[in-house]
Amino acid sequence: MGEEKRVEVERWLAKADHDIRAARSSLKENPPITDVACFLAQQCAEKSLKAFLVFNNIQPDKIHDLGKLVGQCGNLNDSFSSLIPMVAGMSQYAVQDRYPDDWREIMLDEAQEAVTKAEKVMAFVKGKIPV
């Protein structure tokens, strides 16, 4: 991998790491900020998947649909299909749950699950990228 691409992939993964760290922190607040944690968890998964696309010389689309991103990654590596159940339902956190008109109360267990799923997606992707 060339230096320029390595740096770009590392930047995507660093942003994903920042998102998941901030998601964890928001769950430690009193009361926990569950909607923000879910948004950041989705962002972590999204940026991790986009890092894999960049690693494979594909400029990622500006989309938030994790299912589509997993599909694009799956076109390059069949093992990504194992992520489909993990990302199911997480895309809603990118848009629907961010604004007051669509806002709903997200329970702590749902937010914790979203963070855990995002951590697993990020770890999976990192295992596929030798940086």
Q: Using one digit for the tens of pLDDT, what is the confidence trace for 2-51?
A: 899 999 999 999 999 999 999 999 999 999 999 999 999 999 999 999 99
Check: pTM over 0.85? Answer yes or no.
Answer: yes
Task: Tell me the domains of the chain and their CATH numbers.
Answer: 3-126 (1.20.120.330)
Q: At what angle do helices 3-28 and 34-55 cross, to 10 degrees?
A: 170
pLDDT more than 90, % of the chain: 85
Q: For residue 48, what is the enclosing H or E element?
A: helix 34-55
Average pLDDT, the chain: 94
Residues near 19 by Cβ (< 8 Å), separated by ≥ 6? Answer: 40, 41, 43, 44, 47, 118
Q: Which of 14, 29, 49, 19 shows the shortest CA–CA distance to 114? A: 19
Neighbour count for residue 48 (Cβ, 10 Å):
31
- 41 touches 122 (CB < 8 A): no
